[in-house]
Amino acid sequence: MSRPIAFVIAACALLVSSCGSGETTDTAATTSTPSGTTHTTLPPSSTEPAPSPVAPGETITEEIRFQVDGFELVGDLVLPGTPPPHPAVIVVSGSGPQARDSTPGYSAVERTFGAPGFAIFSWDKPGSGASTGVFEEEHTLTARAAILLEGIEVLGERPDIDASRIGLWGLSQAGWVMPLALERNPDIAFMVVVSGGGEDSIDQMAFQISEQLACDGLSAADAELVEIYGAQAAKGTTYGLYTEAMEILLGIPGTDKFVGTSAATEDEWQPWPPDIDAYLNPIDVIEHTTIPVLAVFGEMDKNIDPVQGAAAYEAALQAAGNQNYLVETIPGVGHTMQRQATGCPGDPGGAFSQRFVELMEEWAEMLAATL
């Protein structure tokens, strides 16, 4: 028996296409500790902060290793030259292969959060760099959330990190992973989500495919049909709903590369199990989230729907009674916050939006002062 339409398989590997796109990584003054070190031991102090092992204005990068559920994670902790214990931000990458410092925006996080004294922690995703392990496709998001929770635990056990001031910064697929972690760890101090989306990943992938086809010249009316009936074909709980959607999709030019050339027979077809990660909607968590939240969207984003996402975050945070949040859509930028003319595949990304950098600076300074 087969599951409906090929693009839903892609929904479980959410947003693979653009989360590894290039960025210029800045070179910071760093001193490396021996590979494999897992903790830094600082001298105890009862009344005065322990002195920083880092000179003011410099950083030290320490390699961290930890294990969870068959995954071995290897990453870097960048410590600032301010007195410990430090507040910290964990950088959560998007989908696809990602090294510890390859997430678009990482260098901006390192600069803007490092300046007011945050430690920055990130790791190679399993299967990338030095990290090992293989995700089960239908439960990638929950596995990534478990890894993130363990990373928070490892960081919080260190004497040079303030466990009550550990927050998250993430791009793209991280917008599904971080809320899952928030649901299980209410002590996370803050969340910055960039191009994270405000719907489940089946609806997100239907949007992404409709936008890709529109970039290829499909009419707006047909692109809207692709989004509506692509989601229906994937989520349909009866064969009738599936075939209704497939009949419409197969009549639209260009959809064959996503849905194939024919519908499955009734004997072949089966619905997606309701417990897979593709059905997880981050807004179910956000509507109960009261910690500081910055949600940033790009006007030209073709991977996630920036209009729907911004509206969903705004409504959810209002419903939560959150008193410290900002939802902002930046004009003229795509999925990775770089300047783009169209946001379509193949549109080369320019410099990072100055407004994006300003937001990072403003929020890093605010969080450092108020947490």
pLDDT tens track for 264-290: 999 999 999 999 999 999 999 999 999
Instruction: Establish if 233 belongs to a structural domain.
Output: no
The neighbour count for residue 111, using CB atoms within 10 Å, is 16
Classify 280 as helix, strand or coil. Answer: coil
Question: Is pLDDT at 190 greater than 80 in this prediction?
Answer: yes
Instruction: Establish if 306 belongs to a structural domain.
Output: no
Q: Residues of the chain with pLDDT > 90: what percent? A: 81
Q: Structural domain of residue 167, as residue ranges? A: 11-43+62-200+277-287
pLDDT at 27: 30
Instruction: Establish if 178 belongs to a structural domain.
Output: yes
- Lowest-confidence range among 12-16, 104-108, 226-230? 12-16
Q: Is the pTM of this model over 0.75?
A: yes
Question: Is pLDDT at 10 greater than 70 in this prediction?
Answer: no
Contact by Cβ (8 Å): 352, 108: yes
Q: What is the DSSP string of 166-227?
A: EEEEEETTHHHHHHHHHHH-TT---EEEES--SS-HHHHHHHHHHHHHHHTT--HHHHHHHH
Domains in the chain: how many in total? 1
Instruction: Establish if 53 belongs to a structural domain.
Output: no
pLDDT at 11: 46
Instruction: Establish if 116 belongs to a structural domain.
Output: yes
User: How would residue 54 be classed by pLDDT, with cut points 50, 70 and 90?
Assistant: low
Q: What is the DSSP string of 101-138?
A: T-STTHHHHHHHHHTTT-EEEEEPPTTSTT-B----GG
d(CA 168, CA 118) in angstroms, rounded, equals 12
Q: Residues of the chain with pLDDT > 70: what percent? A: 85
Question: Is pLDDT at 296 greater than 70 in this prediction?
Answer: yes
pLDDT at 56: 67
Q: Which of 333, 370, 335, 329 is nearest to 353 (CA)?
A: 333
pLDDT tens track for 324-371: 999 999 999 999 999 999 999 989 888 999 999 999 999 999 999 999
Question: Is pLDDT at 15 greater than 90 in this prediction?
Answer: no
pLDDT at 348: 85
Q: What is the CATH number of the domain that holds 120?
A: 3.40.50.1820
Question: Is pLDDT at 32 greater than 90 in this prediction?
Answer: no
pLDDT at 243: 96
Instruction: Establish if 57 belongs to a structural domain.
Output: no
d(CA 121, CA 64) in angstroms, rounded, equals 9
Torsions phi, psi for 34 (to 5 deg): -60, 140
H/E stretch holding 30:
strand 30-32
Which amino acid appears at position 280 of this protein? Answer: L
pLDDT at 279: 97
As a whole number of Å, the end-to-end CA separation of the chain is: 52
Q: Which of 291, 318, 229 is nearest to 4 (CA)?
A: 229
- Partners of residue 71 on adjacent β-strands: 68
Q: What mean pLDDT comes out for the span 210-230? A: 97
pLDDT at 50: 53
Instruction: Establish if 112 belongs to a structural domain.
Output: yes
Contact by Cβ (8 Å): 40, 88: no
Question: Is pLDDT at 206 greater than 60 in this prediction?
Answer: yes
Q: What mean pLDDT comes out for the span 78-94? A: 96
DSSP 159: T
Instruction: Establish if 23 belongs to a structural domain.
Output: yes
d(CA 246, CA 264) in angstroms, rounded, equals 9
